[in-house]
Amino acid sequence: MRKKEYNLALSKITMQLLFWLIINLTYICAQSRSRYSDIPRIDVHTHIGGDSIGIVNFLKVRKILIETYNVDLAMFIDVGTSENQIPDLNKSIYVSKSRVFTCISDFSAHDGLDISPKDLHVWLDKGYVGYKIWAGPYYRRLGEREEGFRYIDNIVHEPTFAEMERIGMVAASIHIADPNGPYGKRTEWLSDPVEYWREITAWRHVLERHPNLVAVAAHGNWLVCQDAQLDYLRNMLATFPYLYVDLAATFQYFYLLDHENLRDFMIEWADRILYGTDISTFSDSKEVKLYAERYIRTFKILETNEMVEGGFFGSNPIQGLSLPRDVLEKIYYKNALKIYPNLKDQLSELGYRVK
């Protein structure tokens, strides 16, 4: 081959290689960035605590998400921690331009709720956006103790729910039961289906007594680990128009459900589902990247049809749901703006165009 022909062939190969590289890079970039960058996201179920280090680390996660996946985790609701300490809203981290909202909370309902019903409106007026109550399996709190209130429908809690219903205080990410998987995969959390249904039924009693209580049941009301549970959740949502669910810590159980059933559920009940993760506060800034990756996994599950390795927790492969835009908008932020106080105004103040 003459030198001229040789050079021509070489440049042809170089051009082909370059073209191949550009195509692949474009593909990789498209894969690693959300198609829905313009939809703000609100995580309604976090435990980032009242401490500023946790919140600062959390804001770093937000920054990474913008840089790597081009999505905006616009706001978070802190539902408190098991110490039942209520964060001080006067701290600088909460005041103007804040992306953090917080709740009053009680993680030991089995020993009686600490906050007096007559004080609830004071907290609401101060800017706390809801009342988080943990009412999971009683033995996780009471152990072997006989005394205590095993179920959420205990009459002792009635004045609290009645007052919340009256003043419009949201039952924020109220925790009912624990995950109960299908036979053979029951989960370590609540392996006994008889006890599981006692807890679910007790919650139903509360909603029957307080039909106007706006409640966000945490973790999909823990009715998301079997297809029949999902049908029961359909029944709950159809019966109680002010019942909502958050998705915190549910993603890792999606593999237990029929993919089409779950997708249909999300589309049918999109008005009543809120995005959440259950992220806890963390002090090690090295974990920032790890948590950002976990967030991205949940976004991919909701937005794409990719096979995703794990949810926010866990590592089971989960088939993405590829939900339509209008469904994503409701789940990511519109439903949250509808039910929690103050969020909509704050989002506008931060410069978002809120319809």
The residue range among 198-206, 260-268, 271-279, 309-317 that interacts with Zn ion, by the rule CB under 5 A, is 271-279
Taking alpha carbons only, the member of 254, 248, 325, 310 closest to residue 280 is 248
CB of 313 to Zn ion, least distance (A): 11
- Compare residues 153 and 278 and give the one whose CB is closer to Zn ion: 278
Does 246 participate in binding Zn ion (rule CB under 5 A)?
Answer: no
- Compare residues 163 and 178 and give the one whose CB is closer to Zn ion: 178
Pairing of strands 273-274, 243-246: parallel
Find where tokens 């079997």 sit: 226
- Compare residues 70 and 187 and give the one whose CB is closer to Zn ion: 187
CB of 80 to Zn ion, least distance (A): 9
CB of 45 to Zn ion, least distance (A): 6
- Compare residues 133 and 331 and give the one whose CB is closer to Zn ion: 133
CB of 248 to Zn ion, least distance (A): 6
- Compare residues 69 and 275 and give the one whose CB is closer to Zn ion: 275
The residue range among 58-66, 114-122, 276-284, 303-311 that interacts with Zn ion, by the rule CB under 5 A, is 276-284
Taking alpha carbons only, the member of 166, 165, 110, 172 closest to residue 135 is 110
- Compare residues 163 and 246 and give the one whose CB is closer to Zn ion: 246
Q: What is the chain's Cα-based Rg?
A: 23
What is the distance between the alpha carbons of residues 130 and 168, in angstroms, rounded to a whole number? 9
- Largest Cα separation within the chain, whole Å, is 95
Contacts (Cβ under 8 Å, ≥6 apart) of 73 = 41, 42, 43, 61, 62, 65, 295
Cα-based distances in Å from 16 to 22, 23, 124: 10, 11, 64
Position closest to Zn ion via CB: 278
The residue range among 278-286, 287-295, 313-321, 325-333 that interacts with Zn ion, by the rule CB under 5 A, is 278-286
Cα-based distances in Å from 51 to 56, 91, 101, 102, 139: 9, 10, 13, 12, 29
Q: Is 284 exposed, middle or buried (0-12, 13-18, 19+ CB in 10 A)?
A: exposed
Residues numbered 153 to 192 that lie near Zn ion (CB under 5 A) are none
- Compare residues 72 and 78 and give the one whose CB is closer to Zn ion: 78
The residue range among 51-59, 227-235, 262-270, 273-281 that interacts with Zn ion, by the rule CB under 5 A, is 273-281
Q: State the number of binding residues for Zn ion (CB under 5 A).
A: 1
- Compare residues 47 and 157 and give the one whose CB is closer to Zn ion: 47
Task: Tell me the torsion sign for CA atoms 9, 10, 11, 13.
Answer: positive
Q: Could you tell me the two tokens for 312?
A: 């926010």
CB of 278 to Zn ion, least distance (A): 4
Taking alpha carbons only, the member of 160, 200, 163 closest to residue 179 is 200
CB of 219 to Zn ion, least distance (A): 8
CB of 50 to Zn ion, least distance (A): 15
Judged by CB under 5 A, the residue of 278, 301, 308, 346 near Zn ion is 278
Q: Is 106 exposed, middle or buried (0-12, 13-18, 19+ CB in 10 A)?
A: buried
Interface residues with Zn ion (CB under 5 A)? 278
